[in-house]
Amino acid sequence: MRALRGSALLAAAALATAAAPVTAQDTKQEIQKYQRMTAESSPVELWELQGADLWKRKSGPKNASLERCDLGMGPGVVKGAYARLPRYFRDTGRVQDLESRLVTCMTTLQGLTEQEATKRVFGNADNPSDMEYLAAYVAGQSRGVKMQVSTKLPQEQATYDLGKKLFFYRAGSWDFSCASCHGTEGKRIRMQDLPVLSEPQGARGTYTTWPGYRVSVAQLKTMQWRINDCFRQQRFPEPAYGSEATVALTMFMAVNANGATYNGPGTKR
C-alpha cells in the first residue's frame, strides 16, 4: 500500500512539474495522461480483496459473517447485485442503496445496532472503513454487468422522482442545486470536468465508475461519501448516512445510467 501511494505521489509531482508553464489545453492533456497512468496502477483491487475477507469474517454480537446478506438477488448472491441497486426491499419496506443495505445486514445478521454499524463509515488514508472495503468488494462483483435498476415498483418510481426533485432543488447559502454544477454540458470547476448527471451520457460514465479510488487522497470513496461531500460544497447541512434523500439521489443517477456496463470501482483524480 505504501509503495502504491508513493508512486501516486510521484505521478502527481511529475504532473505538477510538467504542467507549470503551459496552457489550459496542455494542462488538460497532462491530466488525462495522469488519469491513464493512475488507472493502470490503481490499488482498487486491494480494497476489493480486503472487502471479500470482511464479507466472510464472523463479527458482531451474533458472531456471524455477511455471507447470507440479501442484496436483492437472494441471500448470499453478490455477483451482479450492485448493478441492480438501489431497489425496494420487502423486509425493510424501503428502497435501499448498497450502503444502507449493508447496514441492514450488519444489524440483522451480525446483531450490531444501526448506530454501531454506521459509527465510522468514512475512513481516511491510514485507516479505511469497513464500509469502504465492503462497498469496493460488492461493487467489484458487478464489473462487466449492465446497469439495470428498476423503477417498476411504485416505491422505486417514487424514490426516483424524489431524487430528481432533489437534484434540481436550489437552496443553501450559495443557492446551489446539484444541477448548478452537474446540469450543463461541457462545464468544469477549475480543471475538473463536470458530468451532467441528469442525462444518460453523463450519468453512465460517472455512476459506473463509483465507488472510486481517489489518488489525491489515497482513499477509496463510496457513493454515500460522494453525495455527502457534494452537499457540503453546496453549503447545505449534512445528510444522514443512508437516508431516503441520499438513496433517492443515488436512484436518480443509477436509473439515468441504466444500460451502461458497470466498470467500477474506478480511479479518480
Partner 1 sequence: MTKKTICLSLGALAGALAVAQFALAEPTVEELRTVLHRDFHPKGQATMDRVDQDAVQRLCTDTHDKPPVELEKALEADQLKTVVLPADGNLMGDWKRGEKIAGSGAGMTWKDKPDAANGGSCYNCHQLSPAQPSFGTIGPSLAHFAKKRGSGPEAQKYVYSKIYNAKAFNLCSQMPRMGYSGTLTEQQMKDLTAYVLDPASPVNH
Nearer to partner 1, 5 or 164 (CB): 164
Say if residues 57 and 110 touch (Cβ distance below 8 Å).
no
Give which of 249, 254, 242, 255 is closest to 94, Cα–Cα: 242
**Is 16 one of the binding residues for partner 1 (CB under 8 A)?**
no
Q: Is 105 a catalytic site residue?
A: no
Q: Which x/- pattern over 173-192 shows residues binding partner 1 (rule: CB under 8 A)?
A: xxxxx--xx--x-xxxxxx-
Residue for grid cell 461541457: 186
* Candidates 69, 105, 178, 230; catalytic one: 230
Helix (H) or strand (E) holding 220: strand 219-221
**Is 88 one of the binding residues for partner 1 (CB under 8 A)?**
no
**Is 166 one of the binding residues for partner 1 (CB under 8 A)?**
yes
Cβ at position 43, least distance to partner 1 in Å: 26
**Is 19 one of the binding residues for partner 1 (CB under 8 A)?**
yes
How far, rounded to the nearest angstrom, does the alpha carbon of residue 180 sit from its chain's CA centroid? 20
Question: How far apart, in whole angstroms, are the C-alpha atoms of residue 240 and residue 231?
Answer: 11
Say if residues 142 and 262 touch (Cβ distance below 8 Å).
yes
Cβ at position 244, least distance to partner 1 in Å: 6
Nearer to partner 1, 74 or 186 (CB): 186
Ranges within 219-248 binding partner 1 (CB under 8 A): 231-233, 235-240, 243-246, 248
**Is 157 one of the binding residues for partner 1 (CB under 8 A)?**
yes
Rg (CA), the chain: 19
Nearer to partner 1, 219 or 246 (CB): 246
Burial 225-253 (b: 16+ CB within 10 A, else e): bbbbebbeebebeebebbebbbbbbbbbb
**Is 43 one of the binding residues for partner 1 (CB under 8 A)?**
no
**Is 35 one of the binding residues for partner 1 (CB under 8 A)?**
no
Q: Which x/- pattern over 246-265 shows residues binding partner 1 (rule: CB under 8 A)?
A: x-x-----------------
Nearer to partner 1, 126 or 238 (CB): 238
Cβ at position 266, least distance to partner 1 in Å: 22
Concatenate the DSSP letters of all residues of 68-133 into one string: T-BSSSSBT--TTTGGG-SEEETTTTEEE-HHHHHHHHHHHTT---HHHHTTT-S--SSS--HHHH
Enter the DSSP assignment of 222: -
**Is 119 one of the binding residues for partner 1 (CB under 8 A)?**
no
Nearer to partner 1, 92 or 180 (CB): 180
Residue for grid cell 460522494: 226
Q: For residue 185, which phi and psi values (nearest 5 degrees)? A: -65, 140
**Is 29 one of the binding residues for partner 1 (CB under 8 A)?**
no
Provide the annotated active-site residues: 230
Per CB under 8 A, residues contacting partner 1 are 19, 22-24, 26-27, 154-155, 157-158, 161-162, 164-166, 168-177, 180-181, 184, 186-191, 194, 231-233, 235-240, 243-246, 248
